[in-house]
């Protein structure tokens, strides 16, 4: 098991933990499948009225898709398979509120998950970045999700700077990506407290509100997503060149703001 699900039936809160700390909680096929299963099970579980999503350990919330995951692509230039498009709660028709508790790094494909959470609580030491451009890849879906929460200029800087710069939890709070910054190690407890409060409210009203907030940006997101496969197909380097850039990276050469 790579995803731990703990249900607290007395409070109506479930805590979902990405449990691959040795891989910075990167998403492999097993993790993706287990997340999808969890979201869909929550739809039918009346004991779960709110969910907290976090990552095991203190080094990373999630670093996106695991570099070791092979995703075969169809030969047609008009088709693209992206396993992360169905990894989040909204993609699995779950309208119970999800609160993300970020500890350590959150980058790349992690934004598929953060983008489908109602709001984000982050440890003071958490950092956010998107390494796609550094490794010759288009930041398409990630940037769309970020643009639902942050000013376009901040999204552009985060995506274009790649792995050279990390956004601090404080800066993420200032730009709207994060709703609360906690002391180191306290994000999970703070997110659980919020989830317990929400879970105590009538669930029909809560889920309707979640759906209403999502609807406010849904049309723009869908239109942007329709462009993403073409931008990726045009802009991504061949996989072998991406791998070469990744393998030649220098550790620790980045600045935090």
pLDDT tens-place string over residues 144-153: 999 999 999 9
pLDDT at 32 over 80: yes
Q: What angle do CA 253, 105, 229 make, to 5 degrees?
A: 90
Please give the tally of structural domains in the chain: 1
In a domain, 192, yes or no: no
Kind and range of the H or E run holding 165? strand 165-168
- HEC assignment per residue over the chain: CCEEEEEECCCCEEEEEECCHHHCCCECHHHHHHHHHHHHHHHCCCCCCEEEEEECCCCEEECCECCCCCCCCCCCCCCCCCHHHHCCCHHHCCCCCEEEEECCEEECCHHHHHCCCCEEEEECCCEEECCCHHHCCCCCHHHHHHHCCCCHHHHHHHHHHHHHEEEEHHHHHHHCCCCEEECCCCHHHHHHHHHHHHHCCCHHHHHHHHHHHHHHHHHHHHHHHHHHHHHHHHHCCCHHHHHHHHHCCCCCCCEEC
pTM flag (> 0.85)? yes
In a domain, 238, yes or no: yes
In a domain, 198, yes or no: no
pLDDT at residue number 82 = 83
In a domain, 126, yes or no: yes
Mean pLDDT of the chain: 94
pLDDT at residue number 83 = 85
Q: pLDDT band for position 27 (50/70/90)? A: very high
Residue 219 CB neighbours (<10 A): 9
In a domain, 48, yes or no: yes
d(CA 257, CA 237): 29
In a domain, 196, yes or no: no
User: 178 in helix, strand or coil?
Assistant: coil
In a domain, 6, yes or no: yes
pLDDT tens track for 45-86: 999 999 999 999 999 999 999 987 776 666 766 666 788 999
pLDDT at residue number 251 = 67
pLDDT tens track for 186-217: 999 999 999 999 999 999 999 999 999 999 99
Q: pLDDT band for position 240 (50/70/90)? A: confident
pLDDT at 130 over 90: yes
Instruction: Locate 77 and state its tokens.
Output: 């230039």
pLDDT at residue number 77 = 63
Give the structural domain span for 145: 1-66+83-184+203-257
The domain that contains 134 carries what CATH number?
3.90.226.10
User: 107 in helix, strand or coil?
Assistant: strand
In a domain, 153, yes or no: yes
């Amino acid at each position: 098991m790579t995803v731990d699900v703990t249900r607290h039936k007395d409070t109506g809160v479930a805590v979902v933990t990405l449990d691959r700390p040795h891989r910075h909680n990167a998403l492999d096929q097993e993790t993706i499948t287990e997340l999808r299963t969890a979201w869909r099970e929550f739809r039918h579980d009346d004991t779960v009225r709110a969910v907290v999503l976090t990552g095991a350990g203190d080094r990373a919330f999630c670093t996106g898709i695991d570099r070791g995951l092979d995703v075969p692509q169809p030969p047609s230039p008009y088709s693209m398979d992206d396993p992360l498009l169905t990894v989040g709660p909204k993609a699995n028709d779950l309208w119970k509120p999800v609160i993300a508790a970020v500890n350590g790094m959150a980058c790349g494909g992690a934004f598929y998950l953060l983008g489908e959470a109602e709001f984000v609580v982050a440890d003071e030491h958490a950092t956010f970045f998107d390494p796609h451009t550094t490794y010759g890849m288009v930041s398409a879906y990630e940037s769309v999700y970020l643009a639902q929460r942050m000013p376009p200029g901040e999204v552009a800087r985060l995506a274009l700077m790649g792995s050279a710069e990390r956004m601090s939890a404080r800066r993420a709070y200032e730009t709207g990506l994060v709703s609360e910054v906690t002391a180191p190690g306290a994000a999970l407890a703070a997110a659980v407290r919020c989830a317990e409060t929400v879970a105590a409210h009538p669930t029909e009203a809560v889920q309707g509100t979640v759906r209403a907030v999502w609807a406010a940006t849904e049309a723009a997101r869908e239109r942007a997503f329709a462009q993403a496969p073409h931008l990726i197909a045009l802009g991504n380097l061949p996989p072998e060149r991406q791998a070469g850039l990744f393998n030649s990276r220098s550790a620790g050469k980045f600045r935090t703001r």
